[in-house]
Amino acid sequence: MLYGNLCRQHLEPAPFGAVPLDRLRPTNIEALVLSKRAKTLSDSTIRKVYMVPRAGLDGAVRDGLLGP
């Protein structure tokens, strides 16, 4: 439930949510974190938001779906 809420509220909306996974770059993640900081979210919330795509991408690398 927590991940679903974080995704709906922070990851799905544009501009981050509009980026296709095959075009996702570290700069997109950095921009996401900076935009959340600009909205003065707590460090804890920003960390949780960051961990959702990180966990997914780490899993994709581990499973050989993406290169390291």
- Tell me the per-residue pLDDT of 5-63, one tens digit each, with 9 for 90 and over: 999 999 999 999 999 988 899 999 999 999 999 999 999 999 999 999 999 899 988 99
CA proximity to 9, closest of 36, 42, 37: 36
CB contact at 8 A, 55 and 10: no
> What pLDDT does 21 receive?
83
Please report the pLDDT score of residue 9 as a whole number: 95
Higher local confidence (pLDDT), 14 or 68: 14
Question: What is the reported pLDDT for 51?
Answer: 94
